Amino acid sequence: MKVLVTNRKARRDYHILDTVEAGVVLKGSEVKSLRAGGGSLAGSYASVSGGEAWLHGLHINPYDPGSAFSPDPRRTRKLLLHRREINKLASAVAVKGQTLVPLRVYLKGGLVKVELATGKGKRSYDKRQTIRKRETDRELARVRKVRRRK
């Protein structure tokens, strides 16, 4: 499995509750552009409407050698999921404060997949608590490492 694009802000801004893997419908040379590192998940989100799942805001740069027929870089892309999974995501998003956030785009067996998560937005004090916990964990690990050496 090769990770092509990650959403680094997702885990900082959301409490991740559940994850699901979905296929993405791509056109033309978008896979080649993703393989070349031409993608961004910044500001992207997913939604469920009309019984289908959609990915909004995934930016895929136009592939230079095939740029004559390249689709819109920020177009809405359809996600491939089973009906049960779509219904599960729709009921999760119906809960107030929860949203669908793409965590990463990767290749699995030659196919482009996206990892979606249902997340609940963090408040600013939650973010500060997370940072404080990470710093104390690092400090404890540093102290343990020094004690082992002695």
User: Are the C-beta atoms of residues 105 and 39 closer than 8 Å to each other?
Assistant: yes
Distance of alpha carbon 78 from the chain centroid: 15
Instruction: Read off the DSSP letter of residue 29.
Output: T
pLDDT, tens digit, for every residue of 125-144?
Answer: 888 888 899 999 999 999 98
pLDDT, tens digit, for every residue of 71-115?
Answer: 778 889 999 999 999 999 999 999 888 999 999 999 999 899 999
User: Are the C-beta atoms of residues 34 and 4 closer than 8 Å to each other?
Assistant: yes
Of the chain, the percentage scoring pLDDT greater than 70 comes to 97
Between CA 65 and CA 80 the distance in angstroms is 28
Record the pTM. 0.80
**pLDDT bucket at 1, cuts 50 / 70 / 90:** confident
Taking domain 2-121, whether its CATH number is 3.40.30.10 is answered by no
**pLDDT bucket at 67, cuts 50 / 70 / 90:** low
Q: What is the model's pLDDT at position 66?
A: 63
Q: Mean of the pLDDT values across residues 26-33?
A: 87
Q: What is the model's pLDDT at position 23?
A: 95
